[in-house]
Amino acid sequence: MAEVQGRLTPQTGFIVAAASDFVRFDQATFIDFYQPLLSPTALGLFYALQSQLKPDPMLTKRQAHSIMLDRLNLGIAQFAEARNALEGVEMLQTFYQQDEIGGVFVYVLQPTMTPEEFINDDLLSVRLLQQIGEQRFNELVAHSRRYQFDTSRMHNLTHDYFEVFKPDRAAWDAERPTLNNARATAVQKSNSIKAVPQNDFDFGLLLSRLENRGVDLQSVKDQRRLILTESLMYGIGALEMADLVFDATDFRTSMLQPNILKQRIAAKYAGTLRQNDDPAPVVAAGDENLDGLGETERNLIKVARENSPNDFLAGIKQSVGAAYVSPNERNTVLRMIENSGMPNEVINILINYMFVEKEYTTLKSGLADGIINAWTKAGVKTAADAIREIKKHRKSNEKQAGAKPRRRYYSSGRSNINEELPEWAKHPEKVKNKKPSAEKLAKIDQMLAELNQQKNNPGTKK
């Protein structure tokens, strides 16, 4: 991610542009495939941005964000969260620069994928499957292919260009300058960045387990990104993944079927604690500096390192008496795994912070993004680093306990609305946290005991 982070205020300027291939945008595909992944706010923001498209966009024609905030009745934090969601599903790219007039954002609308491209996208298709369920997902797949016909066993008699047309070289040379000029003045499309998730998953072991089992190994290698993402999300080891891949293979062709693999994994793990004794990959404990951390904090680190984010989230929600893990929460965790580069243990400490210290009942996507960004800037690499960062800000805030936090408002003809991002996200040094009470520390101890009991006795539920 770029180092430049544009500051968003109601007065910050913006313009809207469209990618060169935005003509591919299909309304039906957007509603069927993208809408289930977006909140009503994010959906409204997309259409509001689309309505701002004007011919020949120029920075000198910028407008203030207050126009969009008023129109959608949003604060800055809500707007930023909706914008992030559109970026996450690749319907929007955001650019920023500072000039003599001030900061300005350029929002570039992106086209929808074709249904087939969406189905073959490892990340978006998994998220959609989790969100709408297998039955509805299969209905969308069937609907998108309703006009297709398998011609793979037929002879292709289609004529190519040179069989139909006889090019005139002289005419082509005469028109060449015009064509070259059109190509040279085209705006190049910025490609989205999709990093392969990093973890300790042993892909070589997976391939060796699948040898001589009738599975085309190249088809498995082609789905490396999907397999790594799913293993990170649910803490699936190589041996267990081998069985899942085997079950998702079409043995008429020996090819791994990625959609079947997604369905198998979603059905087995989504929203539940794992029922397998294989531990998630663990970073060597001896490499982590635990100086200055108490026994409770060390126990928390141990649990954070031994559980996948999916297990940890499900377990901690049970421990604090919250409801089940929602699809949106699973999506938030999956997005943090894919985009942040943080190890699982750090994401688990973030989950603990939000549910135990902040006492939220749901995983708040916008706040989670803000914390991850703050920790990235602070150089957080391990669970211990994350706990020290929390303690550092807590200590700093105790010195400012008498100071009132500053709030900024904008007027829109209605009641004033706090338009700042969460304090942790924008000014981590000013967060007002209380030192944990004895009661809260006892709650943490109880939570740790319950998480360990659930891990050691998978069939036991609270």
pLDDT in tens, 166-179: 777 677 677 777 77
Between the ranges 112-121, 282-291, 309-318, 417-426, where is the mean pLDDT highest? 112-121
Give me the pLDDT at residue 231, please.
Answer: 82
Sign of the alpha-carbon dihedral angle for 100, 105, 107, 108: positive
Alpha carbon distance 331, 362 (integer Å): 13
Alpha carbon distance 262, 127 (integer Å): 9
Q: Which of 20, 25, 192 is nearest to 114 (CA)?
A: 25
pLDDT in tens, 193-217: 555 555 678 888 888 888 888 889 8
Helix 224-234 × helix 203-210 angle, to 10°: 110
Between the ranges 19-33, 156-170, 257-271, where is the mean pLDDT highest? 19-33
Structure tokens at 83: 């914008």
Confidence label for 430 from pLDDT (cuts 50, 70 and 90): very low
Q: Which of 77, 178, 73 is nearest to 425 (CA)?
A: 77
pLDDT beyond 90 at 48: yes
Alpha carbon distance 240, 234 (integer Å): 11
Architecture field, domain 13-112: Orthogonal Bundle (1.10)
Q: Which of 135, 138, 112, 338 is nearest to 257 (CA)?
A: 138
Alpha carbon distance 269, 235 (integer Å): 10
Confidence label for 187 from pLDDT (cuts 50, 70 and 90): low
Domain boundaries, the chain: 13-112, 118-144+196-269, 295-456
Distances (CA, A) of 57 to 62, 201, 386, 434: 9, 46, 43, 49
Confidence label for 323 from pLDDT (cuts 50, 70 and 90): low
Q: Which residue has the tokens 């706040």?
A: 367
| Beta strands across the sheet bearing 103-109 | 63-64, 13-18, 103-109, 92-98
Biggest CA–CA distance in the chain, Å, is 88
Confidence label for 65 from pLDDT (cuts 50, 70 and 90): very high
H-helix or E-strand spanning residue 135:
helix 122-144
Give me the pLDDT at residue 195, please.
Answer: 52
Angle of CA points 235, 451, 338, to nearest 5° = 30
pLDDT beyond 60 at 279: no
